[in-house]
Each structure stands twice: as structure tokens, then as C-alpha cells.
Structure 1
Amino acid sequence: MSDNYGTNDRISLLQQLKINDSEQTIMINGNDKKNPLLLFLHGGPGTPQIGYARRYQKELEKHFTVVNWDQRGAGLSYSREIPGSSMTMAQMTADAIDVTERLCKQFSKQKIYVAGYSWGSVLALNVLQLRPDLYHAYIGISQVVNIQKEEMEAYRQLTTWSRENKHRMLDKLLRFIGPPPWNGQLKQALFLFGIEMKGGGFTHKRLAVLKVGSRMLFGEPYGVRGSLLAARGQMFSLKHLWGELLRFDAEESVSSIKVPCCFISGRFDLTVPGSISHGFYKQVKAPYKEWFWFENSAHSPHLEEPDLFAEVLSRFATFHL
């Protein structure tokens, strides 16, 4: 797709790129294309945000040229022709580096900012280990450290809360599924349901997740067709990448990050409990690092408190000056 630059240096662009033999889609938006570039690595695996991102990043676009990318096998980048053998962390890392290099060339930049959200935060850590020279700084949103530790901590917090508040339904549910790890998908699904009951899932307020879904289903550029692609892509991505994600342990594999870091966690997040992320933040070595709790968010602070998110990032991101 061709560039679509508006007046006063605004940019709004949906573009297909051939990334390592796979057609992939990026969306670029900003008030001034001379602003620093911010690449978002979405969650999942396979949960893209092009379908709704613009509703939540208006304030962010004042400070950055924001790039949303549907990763290999996800969203508008999903295709039945993508071989399952290519759905690996190594390939995703290579794709992210390729996207970054193309953005630098397209916008005549030497470096960009990178934000990793949930699964994307794992991908970002891998990218930063290989090519820190491409990035001004890193923003880790709901930073994944070790899925198994995070599930144990979430189970502990849910159990304590349900007993202290005499929430019989949740208490019975947790007793039924027992502590992790779980064999089979049923207990995993029931645990995620319990997290949602407590307001610790995708969003803290239940209505917010419905708004995200409706904006994806009925808005541009996804609509019904794009949403169906996204659903297929999510199942495809999870099938091939979940095993690698389960084996990932940032505390063992990432002792340092060579760029400045900003970590953000929602206070109510039980999908990736912030206590585990904060432990990694304290441990990891970096030239500069900051930590922020978003007090009214669960797993998606950039969507739940978008104005605060833009404020935090605009204050943090001075490393390109």
C-alpha cells in the first residue's frame, strides 16, 4: 500500500510488507512524522491490536509516530500458507528486527523506541539481546518473566482474596481446579474465568473489554473479516508458540538490557501479576530504568489508562534528543 501523508506532517498509513518471505501488515499513525518512532509488539501470542489501537492512542500520537504491527501469523498477517515450522521465537525475533530496520530506513532514523506488551514483552527482550543498537529505549507493559511463576502467584492471590471476602463461587472453582500446573485446557480456561471474575484479566472493568471487542469487530481496518482472521491467527499462533513461551524465564536468560527501560504494570493484573514483573525490574541491569504502577488497570494499562500512558511515555522518552 502507498504512503498516505496528510497535511502538517501528519501520517496515517496501512502498509503490507514482505518480511522474511511472509506478507505482514503494519499501521503507522502520528501527528508529526518527524516525531520519534514507537513500535508496538502486541500480546498473545497472536493477539494483534491494529483493529482497535487508534481509539486508545490519540494522545500518544501527539508525541510519537506510533507503529502497530500484526506479527507473523496474527491478524491481517495471518495466512493459511504460513508454515507452522516458521512460527518460532527465533523467527519472530528476526521479523521484528527486519521491521525495525525498514522503519529506520523509511523515516531516516538511526533508532526507534520499542514497546512490548505481555507476549510482546518476551519478544522485545529477545530482540534487545540481539540488536540493542536499533533502539533508543524499551517500554515493558505487563512484562512477562516466567509464565509458571506468574500462574502460581495469581492462584495464590485469587485463593487468598476469595477466602478473605467469602466469595464462595470463586473459592469452589479454585478448589476444583487446584494449583498449577494443569493438564488439559479445561482447568486453564476455568482459571482464566476466575481471573476475569476478580477483575484481573484483560481489563479491570468488564465493560472495557466489550468496548475493545466491538471496536475491533465493527471498526476499521478489521471489521468482521479482519476479526475472523484474527481469531484464526490467534489459535494458529498459540498452537505453535505457547510451548516456547512456557519455557521462557527472563530471570535466567536476561540479566541485563543495554538500553534505558520503563516498566508498567496494572495494579489489578492477575494475568501477569505485577509483583513478578517488579522482581525482574529490580534484578535486571540497565543504563536507566523506571517502574510505574497503573492503579486503575489490570492487564492492559495502555488501553485502560491511555492518557496516563501517553504522559508517562512522553516524559520517559527523551533518549532521542
Structure 2
Amino acid sequence: MLGTIAATVTAAALAAPVAGLFAHRAVRRSANARLMRIGTPNGMDEQGFVRIGGIDQWISVRGEDRANPVLLEIHGGPGAANSPYGARTRAWEEHFTLVRWDMRGAGLTFAHGGPVAQGGEPSFERLYADALEVVHHVRERLGVDRVVLLPSSFGTVFGLRLARSHPELFSAYVGTDQNVLEAGRDTSAYDATLERLRAAGKKKAVAQVEAMGSDPRRWTPAQRTAYDKLCAGSDPLTLDTVKKVILGSMWLSPLYSPGRIAAYFKGQGFSEPVTAGTHGFDDWAEGTRFEVPFFVFQGALDVITPAARAKAYFDAVEAPVKAFALIEDASHFAALRRPDRFLELLLTHVRPVVTAGRRTTDAA
């Protein structure tokens, strides 16, 4: 999805004078590099490669006070690393130590040696094992018993299973762009995608989506990618977020050269097979009881992982503490489109629980 949209946006951008385009980029990247500096006495800024699962994987650990709670992100995709978004989420690092990990086959991990350095074709099982190893690495490096688990989009498929199986490792679960796998029973997102495509007169796309069928368990990885492209591309708000927030952040990130941007999208293609390992999952059947505080902050207008589906699952969850909140004026990628609102929710609901013991919070 992102790769196809990126090609269109890049072509349009390069229609402008190249020298001016890159001069503007250089100025903005320098400003972002200054923004990212951490100079506080108890701050931390470690970015580099750690040996995880037998290969070098990129991990960033940043924050203005090591005494703050630790947030460990599990990014989506597959292959949609969060490493480009440091400038957008800089304010989070005032209140949390933010750990970003580019999975095997994704982002800077993929760019570091390409496909031959990924240890073979990625699978859900292998990435899940990597995630557990990353959790243990972070706990040891920062000297903490538990971390706040912050998965997004496809990352929540890992996140739910990590939180269910290893509650001793996490002080809270915070899902966003929350995915709920339910064995093909809920077709609301699929039906809405078809409705948007029909309204736009996209007959070829309608036929393509209809031919796939509504059960994602039967899709090939390539079909899933094609569906995601059509689902997101047919929604103006999601498409705007991809262009301005996702691609814009990548273009202006101090970490991303043009070569690394190209590698980012190659990594997404490389990571496509991971979804095949989830076809047998059913989050309802696998359990709605969690032994950790459970939070979901969802884009109110999400067309990829609809808020209504996430709320239905949340309502069934049993947890020591739980809260659900909508992020207004946001579709998918809600935390990145509205990082200020997401931080507000973290400070209102999550930080008090993980720093001062468990207590009940009401959703905003």
C-alpha cells in the first residue's frame, strides 16, 4: 500500500525543481535533527543495532529521564517500521522512555544488509520470538521489571498474544489501530471498502475486491497488500495521512537517506509472507482476559481497523484496569496523525496506573 502511494507522491515531488526540493529537505532534516537532541542530565539517546534472533536489528532507546516509564512499540505493516517518526513523537520522550524497534525485514533493520541479512524469509513465529527477546533486552538494558507494551496496527496481533502469555513482563497494554482477528466473521471494513469503490465508479477495483472474497484468511499475502492499498486509497482521510504524515515524516527524517527510503518499501514487500502465519488466529476464541491494565486508543474514523470492532472486543476484555478512547479526526495511523492527543491519553490514563499503582480510569 505505502509503496504504491509513495511512487505516486515521489513522481509528483520530482516534477518540482530537484535542487529546490532537496534544499528544502536539507533544511527541514537539520531542524528535525536539532529537535531530536536530548540534553537532560538523566536523559538517554541510544540508537543502533542489537543482536536479536541471530541478526542485527535496529533499536532506539530515547527519553529525557530514565526514571520515566518505558514504552516499547511494536510496529505494524508487516514491515511498516516506526523509525521515521521521531520528530512527530518527540514530546512523548518528555514523559516516557520510548523504545522503537525495526523488526526483522523492516525499516533500518532491512536496510542494514538487505534481504540476505534477515536470516531467511520472515514468519510470524520468528518475529514473535524476536519480540520476546527485545522485551528481555530492554528490561535488562534499562533495569526495569516491566514495560508498557505499545503495539499498533498489525503489531497488535503480536501485542495481544504477548500480553496474554507474558503478563509478568508488562505494566500495561496500549493498543492503537487495534486489529481484532475474528475468523472472518466481521466483514464491515470489507463491505465499506466496496461501498467507497462503487461510489467512486472504480469498477475494476470493485471486481478485484469481490474476487478476493470477504474472508482475509483466504487471501494470499499479495492479495492482502492489494486490499490494503484499495481500502486506504479509497478513503480521503487515510490517504491524506499516508501522504502527509507517513511519507512526509520519512522524507524529512534525519535517519532516512533516499536509499534507506527505497529499502523501507522493499522491506515491506519482503515482509508480506508474515501475514500467512495469522490465518488461524481468532482473538475472541483465544481469550479476552488479561492480567495487565488494558487500554485501546483508536482513530474514530479508522477504515482499516474499524473503531466499532475494536470497541466490541474491548468491551469483552476483563482486565485489572481498562479504558477506551477515540482519537477524533483520525483514521488509521491515529497516534501519528494526532500525537498530541495520543500523548494526552497516555498521560491521563496510562502513566498514572504504571507509576502510582493500579486504579480505575474512565475513558475520555
TM-score (normalizing by structure 2): 0.77
Q: Residues 314 and 101 of structure 1: is their aligned pair in 2 closer, same or farther, counting only changes over 3 Å? A: same
2:183·2:281 contact (CA, 8 Å) conserved in 1?
no
Paired residue for 1:64?
Answer: 96
- CA change 1:147–1:226 in 2 (3 A) is farther
Structure 1 position 176, deviation (Å) = 6.1
Written as runs of structure 1 = structure 2, the 5 A alignment for 1:136-285 is: 136-146=171-181, 149=184, 152-159=187-194, 167-170=199-202, 173-174=205-206, 177-178=209-210, 179-181=213-215, 185=222, 189=226, 192-199=229-236, 204=238, 206=240, 209-239=243-273, 241-285=274-318
Where do 5+ consecutive residues of structure 2 fail to align? 1-36, 357-364
Percent identity of equivalent pairs: 24
Deviation at 1:27, TM superposition (A): 1.2
Corresponding residue SS for 1:59: helix
3-state DSSP of counterpart to 1:139: strand
Given candidates 313, 321, 330, the residue that maps to 1:288 is: 321
* Alignment CA distance shift 1:176-1:237 (3 Å): closer
Instruction: Give the root-mean-square deviation of aligned CA atoms.
Output: 2.6
Which among 119, 125, 129 is matched to residue 160 of structure 2?
Answer: 125
Deviates more, 1:121-130 or 1:139-148: 139-148
Change (3 A) 1:17 1:268: same
Structure 1 position 84 matched with structure 2 position 116 = no
Task: Please give the alpha-carbon distance, in whole angstroms, between the structure 1 residues aligned to 2:62 and 2:170.
Answer: 19
The equivalent residue for 2:41 is: 8
8 Å CA contact 1:125–1:254 kept in 2: the answer is no
Q: For 1:191 and 1:208, how far apart are their aligned partners in 2?
A: 12
Count of aligned positions: 309
CA distance in 1, matches of 2:219, 2:59: 37
Instruction: Give the Cα–Cα distance (whole angstroms) in 2 for the partners of residues 215 and 188 of structure 1.
Output: 22
Displacement of 1:127 after TM fit? 1.4
CA contact (8 A) 1:14 1:25 kept: yes
Quick one: distance in 1 between partners of 2:197 and 2:242?
23
Q: Which residue of 1 aligns with 2:343?
A: 310
Aligned 8 A contact 2:53 2:130 in 1: yes
Q: Is the Cα contact below 8 Å between 2:63 and 2:96 reproduced in 1? A: yes
Cα gap change, 1:283 to 1:7, in 2 (>3 Å): closer
Q: Could you tell me which residue of structure 1 aligns to residue 30 of structure 2?
A: none
Q: Distance in 1 between matches of 2:81 and 2:229?
A: 19
Q: Is the 8 A contact 1:150 1:273 kept in 2?
A: no
Q: Is the 8 A contact 2:149 2:159 kept in 1?
A: yes
Unpaired segments ≥5 residues, structure 1: none
